[in-house]
Amino acid sequence: MKNLWGGRFASGVDPLAWQYNASIAIDWRLAEVDIQGSIAWAKALAQCDVLQQSEMDSIIEGLYAVLAEVQSDNFQLQPTDEDVHTAIERRLTEIIGPLGGKLHTGRSRNDQVASDFNLWLQLAIAQVDEFLRILQTALVDRAEKDMGIILSGYTHLQQSQPILLSHWWLSYFWPLVRDRQRLQELKQRASVLPLGSGAMAGTPYPIDRDFLAAELGFSLVSPNSIDAVSNRDAAAEFLFFSALLAVHLSKLSEGLILYSTSEFGFIQLADAYTTGSSLMPQKKNPDTLELTRGKSGTIIGRLTGLLSTLKGLPSTYDKDLQEDKQPVFETYDNLCMMLPVMTGVLESLQVNAQRMQANMNPSILATDLADYLVAKGVPFREAHALVGQAVRLAEEQNLDLSQLPLKAYQTISPMFKEEVYQVFCFETAVEKKNSVGGTSSEAVSLQINKAKQFIDSQS
């Protein structure tokens, strides 16, 4: 097989080995950024007189012709196209002749692919961030729409304390804030230009790398050519960001799956985001949420896979690094489905406030009952023990705390008075949690405003 690097080889590559080595099926999505990088490289070569002005113009014109074919899906891949870089150079040479062979002067595929990947990552980061912004907006919209609805919060999957549903929605907003912050930090680290590092030792031509960085939208140039061609931190960080984001989406999915069951019945998922059973006609399965939960495990696996690839590599570039793009591309594709689907689920679901209210047991006000005793001067630990006795007594009598007679309370402690029954109001309990970050209406309204401010600040 003919290729662009075979001058020192006496025989061709085994067809299976060629197929094994080729990456064109995976890295073709870098085609547009590869052409963008090549246009900038041609300009840099002309600046240092490696190319004449007319040669640069011809090369750039040819590259734009190749770009037009790529964007219109008219680019014809050939069996000899090992990767995206050789495919584009091959096509450029077909269009403008042997002059196309000058483009690669002073450049290696090592610094070329690292630059392409960082360029692509910056575009991918912008797209994922926009999907995250839309999902955050959906959570804030739900918090506003469902304001005033009370349900029981859960710890250890046991009813714990009453909260506003809006507070629950927003508990999934703030992890996405941290995700977006990580994404912006990653964008900064991906904005370092490897181009001009050559294969690993730099380029012998007086290339203006600062010009290249400005031309391609990078903030900095890489300070060390050896590190530049081997650095895949941005790929690993993207996968780590994605894995943690997927964990957050998985937790939200699990909550919605649980609350949509007949046992809870707190929400009803829209038909558009559920499926049926091939056997049981009554089923309405939360498959989209289950897929999100499942894909989180797959994304975590991609992260660990890339880290395992990177951990044992010697200095500079090794072919192992060809394994960097597939997990990142596949993860990106998954996020571009997961995030809009989760947004659609949130926007379309229906809340059953009556079921939430009916499900709450007055025992979740036990802490409020202890606080009632604290207000009378009883130390909290003593109050906790006294209320525990009341809970046990109510259970023995098959009553809830609000039904336990006053005399029974007073057998536990004379500090219990007639007004004790005022404690058993879910609304009052919620409104007392008025500290910053709490579940009262005022605190949640403040939280909604802060959430909106964050979204606006990132737009």
- List the structure tokens of 76: 């014809």
Percent of the chain that is helix, strand, coil (3-state, to 5): 70, 5, 25
Query: For the packed helices 441-458 and 173-190, what is the interaxial angle rounded to 10 degrees?
Result: 20
Inter-residue contact 20 to 98 (CB < 8 Å)? no
Tell me, what's the pLDDT at 91? 98
Query: What whole-number distance in Å separates Cα of residue 121 and Cα of residue 100?
Result: 27
Q: How far apart are CA 156 and CA 95, in angstroms?
A: 66
The structural domains of the chain, with segments of one domain joined by +, span: 13-105, 110-207+219-358, 360-458
Using one digit for the tens of pLDDT, what is the confidence trace for 239-270?
A: 999 999 999 999 999 999 999 999 999 999 99
- Which pLDDT does position 459 carry in this prediction? 79
Q: What is the pLDDT of residues 371-417, one digit of tens each?
A: 999 999 999 999 999 999 999 999 999 999 999 999 999 999 999 99
The count of other CB atoms within 10 Å of the CB of residue 267 is 20
CATH topology identical between 13-105 and 360-458: no
Q: What is the rounded distance in angstroms from the CA atom of residue 376 to the CA atom of residue 371?
A: 9
Q: Is the pLDDT of residue 85 over 90?
A: yes
Amino acid code (one letter) for 107: R
Catalytic residue, candidates 54, 219, 277, 308: 277
Cα separation, 256 vs 248, in Å, equals 13
Q: Is the pLDDT of residue 210 over 70?
A: yes
pLDDT tens per residue across span 273-291: 999 888 888 889 999 999 9
> Per-residue confidence at 6, pLDDT binned at 50, 70, 90?
low
In order of 114, 147, 189, 250, the CA distances from 118 in angstroms are: 6, 43, 9, 28
Predicted confidence at residue 2, as pLDDT, reads: 46
**Domain 360-458 classification at class level:** mainly alpha
Known catalytic residue at 384: no
Burial class (CB in 10 A: 0-12, 13-18, 19+), 367: middle
* 96, 180, 207, 259, 265 from 154: Cα distances, Å: 68, 27, 61, 12, 15
Query: Of 104, 316, 88, whose CA–CA distance to 205 is shortest?
Result: 104
Closest by alpha carbon to 30, among 38, 41, 42?
A: 38
Whole-number pLDDT of residue 9: 52
- Annotation says 248 is catalytic: no
Burial, 7: exposed, middle or buried (Cβ in 10 Å; 0-12, 13-18, 19+)? exposed
pLDDT tens per residue, range 319-329: 999 999 999 99
Contact call for residues 23 and 325 (beta carbons, < 8 A): yes
Average pLDDT over residues 37-50: 98
Among residues 5, 30, 53, 186, which one has the least CA distance to residue 112? 30
User: Counting beta carbons within 10 angstroms of the beta carbon of residue 50, is it exposed (0 to 12), middle (13 to 18) or buried (19 or more)?
Assistant: middle
CATH topology of domain 13-105: Fumarase C; Chain B, domain 1 (1.10.275)
Radius of gyration, CA atoms only, the chain: 31
pLDDT beyond 60 at 362: yes
Whether residue 1 has pLDDT greater than 50: no
Task: Identify the three-state secondary structure at position 159.
Answer: strand
DSSP 120-143: HHHHHHHHHHHHHHHHHHHHHHHH
Out of 11, 54, 58, 156, pick the active-site residue.
156
Indicate the Cα dihedral angle 67, 70, 76, 81, nearest 10°. Answer: 80
Residue 315, pLDDT > 90, answer no
Residue 19 has pLDDT above 70, yes or no: yes
pLDDT for res 11:
58
Select 110-207+219-358's CATH number: 1.20.200.10, 2.60.40.1150, 3.40.50.970, 3.40.50.850.
Answer: 1.20.200.10
Q: Which residue has the tokens 């525990």?
A: 388
| Paired residues of 164 in beta bridges | 150
Question: Per residue in 412-431, is it b (16+ CB within 10 Å) or e — as a string?
Answer: bbebbeeebeebbebeebbb
| Range of lowest pLDDT (105-114, 202-211, 278-287, 389-398) | 278-287
Q: What percent of the chain has pLDDT over 90?
A: 93
pLDDT over threshold 90, residue 96: yes
Closest alpha carbon to 88 in 43, 12, 27, 46: 27
In angstroms, the CA 222 to CA 209 distance is: 9
